[in-house]
Structure 1
């Protein structure tokens, strides 16, 4: 029997497989950008809401995936890769809380130094890609304790992308890119109910895009 969580997780994995957020996947499929938002997955009274068959059909067409591909994502265990297991390479890995340590990144946000672990992840077209392991529940419900995000310093960052931001004071943030101007960076928190954050561009050391997450 298919569960509500399995179906929604497959939608997220399909988006991640193509380097998209759930919102970007919806827009590519010609749907409203909020179609797959977390807030749309439950009714106000807590009852589960399911994606429509029409919306599933449209994202399959938009990504070129087959129904069998989607069912493979549905049936793969939690925490399993959202890319084919046969494709992957070793990426440097550290805990998210350690990313603020200047010893692990250069001025451009590229991983450097020792102390990194290694793990096999889906192949990413960025020689400097790295992985961060989430600890705690501060990013719930999007990321849970133990989830791993793969980050690409080379990937172009667009509105709606999930990003890792490091300030010049050494603070490291996981956010959604809302807007960027010549003077400021406007970010949306991953946890609901928190206010948007505006950071002066002069205070930003680097911004890198999250391409994949092991959810």
Structure 2
């Protein structure tokens, strides 16, 4: 489906909502004039009013600050629900083996399955719980999402850690040292 004037503005509005912002807030976050995406600026003078299109520079800035790909942005203009995305998924018993995480704790290598999500982020992956050390909270077969880019953990949060012995475990954080 071609990206028409109304669909382009629909995608910009949806991108703003996805970020919890108004169109003005999205423009501001992108380093643009806060009025750049206002409805009053979407048409120029004339009878009928002449459509105004955002510049490619403005669109590029929006993609940068939202982390959206051009394809994901175009999907926001569609009337159908967004296609599901996948994040990497690995069984927790396998997670301690060499080659599944890089030095930053992000998924790497082969052997990962996938978990469908509506809008994953680059730091998001899932693990399948194996064993019962976290029962009844987590049972064998449960999937947990891990967000490496989420807020810093606090006492009482459930966390996934790689121990110095190479084991990957899901536990409750008792203290920070």
Bigger relative contact order (CA 8 A; separation at least 6)? 1
Structure with bigger gyration radius: 2
Q: TM-score, normalised by structure 2?
A: 0.49
Q: TM-score, normalised by structure 1?
A: 0.41
Quick check: which one's strand share is greater? 1
